[in-house]
């Protein structure tokens, strides 16, 4: 593994060094450099600091682990690989993500999982340990979003979740009593079978961040899925 001190380094030269390395890469003193690991397929990156926007955009199989917070648009249109964040993430995480997994210990900003999609075996997964901002899963077309709300006193998601959602599913570790969902989705208490379908992702999350799996599972969960009878009714356009 090579170590790069990113202090005072521009994003383009940093990314070029990463691309040209035949080895795994550790970045220290990372501060705001954007597009890190864009399109990367065959490496592991470890980042210490605060990477810039669009971390792991178009990621194509590489693994990225970040010790710090992550800014906006992490995993934009990512295709494959894993992003593990030991902190919180900004807005629009996993934008149009089409494969791979993102695990976040902390909270997510607005529009997490916006327009995630899936096709056959390509099923993207986004797991948030804390809570999320408004518009979670906006226009979600596929894939799985899991929100755990660990140690949180706030609502597990902000306002207007699932606006325009028409595919995929969401599992929220809460009864969601105080949350109003739009008419284009159905919500119900999740069963053991529902949780069994995503258990591998919950296990992986617990392994990443050192949580006890049975404590995480042992809560009331809500399953959200699109109402296929009314697929496109949404807040911006009534049709």
Which of 11/103 has CB closer to other proteins?
A: 11
- Exactly one of 17, 60, 79, 133 binds other proteins (CB under 8 A); that residue is 133
Is residue 34 within the footprint of other proteins (CB under 8 A)?
Answer: yes
Which of 112/190 has CB closer to other proteins?
A: 112
Is residue 129 within the footprint of other proteins (CB under 8 A)?
Answer: no
**Cα separation, 83 vs 68, whole angstroms:** 13
Beta strands in the chain (DSSP E): 2-5, 25-31, 44-50, 60-67, 80-85, 101-104, 125-128, 141-147, 167-172, 185-189, 222-226
Q: To the nearest whole angstrom, how small is the minimum distance from the Cβ of residue 94 to other proteins?
A: 16
Is residue 161 within the footprint of other proteins (CB under 8 A)?
Answer: no
**Cα separation, 111 vs 92, whole angstroms:** 5
- Exactly one of 159, 175, 191, 228 binds other proteins (CB under 8 A); that residue is 159
* Strands 141-147 and 167-172, bridge-based pairing: parallel
3-class DSSP state for residue 183? coil
Is residue 234 within the footprint of other proteins (CB under 8 A)?
Answer: no
User: Which of the ranges 48-56, 144-152, 198-206, 217-225 carries the binding residues for other proteins, by CB under 8 A?
Assistant: 48-56
**Cα separation, 130 vs 224, whole angstroms:** 18
Is residue 103 within the footprint of other proteins (CB under 8 A)?
Answer: no
Gyration radius of the chain over CA positions: 18
- Exactly one of 13, 16, 19, 31 binds other proteins (CB under 8 A); that residue is 31
Question: Do 135 and 109 touch, CB atoms closer than 8 A?
Answer: no
Q: To the nearest whole angstrom, how small is the minimum distance from the Cβ of residue 149 to other proteins?
A: 16
Is residue 222 within the footprint of other proteins (CB under 8 A)?
Answer: no
Q: To the nearest whole angstrom, how small is the minimum distance from the Cβ of residue 147 to other proteins?
A: 16
**Cα separation, 14 vs 8, whole angstroms:** 10
Residues between 106 and 125 with contacts to other proteins, criterion CB under 8 A: 109-110
Is residue 11 within the footprint of other proteins (CB under 8 A)?
Answer: yes
User: Which of the ranges 30-38, 40-48, 119-127, 217-225 carries the binding residues for other proteins, by CB under 8 A?
Assistant: 30-38
Please name every residue paired with 83 in a beta bridge, in sequence order, or none if there are none.
Answer: 64, 102
Three-state secondary structure readout of 13-78: HHHHHHHHCCCCEEEEEEECCCCCCCCCCCCEEEEEEECCCCCCCCCEEEEEEEECCECCCCCCCC
- Exactly one of 15, 63, 77, 88 binds other proteins (CB under 8 A); that residue is 88
Residues near other proteins (CB under 8 A): 11, 31-34, 49-50, 52-53, 69, 71-72, 88, 90-91, 109-110, 133-135, 158-159, 180
């Amino acid at each position: 593994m090579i170590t790069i001190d990113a202090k005072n380094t521009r994003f383009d030269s940093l990314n070029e060094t990463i691309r040209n390395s035949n080895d795994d890469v550790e970045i220290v003193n990372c501060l705001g450099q954007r597009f890190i690991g864009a399109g990367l397929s065959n490496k592991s990156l470890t980042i210490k600091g605060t990477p810039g926007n669009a971390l792991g955009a178009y990621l194509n199989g590489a693994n990225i682990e970040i010790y710090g917070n992550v800014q906006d648009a992490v995993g934009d249109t990512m295709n494959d690989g894993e992003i593990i964040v030991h902190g919180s993430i900004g807005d629009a995480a996993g934008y149009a993500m089409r494969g791979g997994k993102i695990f976040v210990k902390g909270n997510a900003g607005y529009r997490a999982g916006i327009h995630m999609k899936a096709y056959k075996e390509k099923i993207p997964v986004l797991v948030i340990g804390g809570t999320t901002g408004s518009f979670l899963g906006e226009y979600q077309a596929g894939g799985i979003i899991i929100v755990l709300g660990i140690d949180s006193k706030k609502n597990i998601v902000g306002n207007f979740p699932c606006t325009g959602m028409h595919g995929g599913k969401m599992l929220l570790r809460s009864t969601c009593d105080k949350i109003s969902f739009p008419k284009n989705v159905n919500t119900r208490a999740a069963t053991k079978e529902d949780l069994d379908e995503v258990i591998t992702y919950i296990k992986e999350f617990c392994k990443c961040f050192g949580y006890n799996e049975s404590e995480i599972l042992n809560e009331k969960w809500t399953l959200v899925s699109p109402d296929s009878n009314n697929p496109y009714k949404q807040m911006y356009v009534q049709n």
